[in-house]
Amino acid sequence: MRDPKSILITGASSGIGAALAREYAGPGCTLFLGGRNQSRLDELTADCTARGAAVESAAIDVTDAGAIAEWIATSDDRAPLDLVIANAGISAGTGTAGEPRDQAQRIMAINVDGVINTVHPALERFAARPAPVTDPGVKGQIAVMSSLASFRGFAGAPAYCASKAAVRNYGEGLRNAYARGGINVSVICPGFVQSGMTDANDFAMPFLMDGDRAARIIRRGLARNRGRIAFPWQMYGAAWLVQALPTWSTDWAMRSLPNKASD
């Protein structure tokens, strides 16, 4: 969507979510920001308000399907949503002892179930609209946050990679399912973006970029209705190649990669 005026973002209290809120904040824009850290949300609300946006924030857990659905409905009633960004997610690795089951389940609950809990109420709202809100022929737009880690499972973060692969395929399937109904769906696949997640990494992160630059790239991609917004191109190319090659030819390299710290 070229110029969304009402935007809802989950996981907005830090990282890419906060950067996207700042990127879109401006006169005439209404932002609905959800996250788990109310104090950081309050700071972000003040920042975005100073930029001219109308802002409402909510401390909310994306694993609570009922609460998310109610929040989306209330937000849509206040200012019909143009764009919903299902961004909330967590990351954790195996350390040196393997990945605990409870950690893997928590990652799936937030990264996968949380996206579903966000996307479905938005789809229902958009589908029920008789006419476009902003762009001709477009009832609404949804963006889901995947990762370049979705293209291959890494030994240091199996559940995280799997969760992002699920989200990528889910979003790409929804894009084709809802395109004729006037609902645009895009999948975002960033590489290393500076955030609390990457701050915990003690290994080299090629082409690490700041959140504001990532937000600009994402905004441009969404404005053009890109199905997959993957960046930086160097890391995307490498991820695509590793996925395309047979596993026997890349297993040795995958096993030599450093482990991500456990939660």
Beta-ladder partners of 142:
84, 185
What is the rounded distance in angstroms from the CA atom of residue 98 to the CA atom of residue 185? 35
Closest CA to 1 of 143, 171, 170, 124: 143
SS3 122: helix
Q: In what order do the strands lie in the sheet with 83-86?
A: 54-59, 30-35, 6-9, 83-86, 140-145, 183-190, 228-231
What is the rounded distance in angstroms from the CA atom of residue 122 to the CA atom of residue 134? 16
The answer to whether residue 236 is catalytic is no
What is the rounded distance in angstroms from the CA atom of residue 115 to the CA atom of residue 102? 19
Catalytic residue among 24, 160, 178, 236: 160
Q: CA dist 75 to 68, 101, 121, 221, 257, Å?
A: 10, 35, 11, 24, 43
SS3 143: strand
Helix (H) or strand (E) holding 214: helix 211-223
CA-based radius of gyration for the chain: 18
Instruction: Show the beta-strand stretches assigned E in 36-182.
Output: 54-59, 83-86, 140-145
Give me the active site residues, please.
160
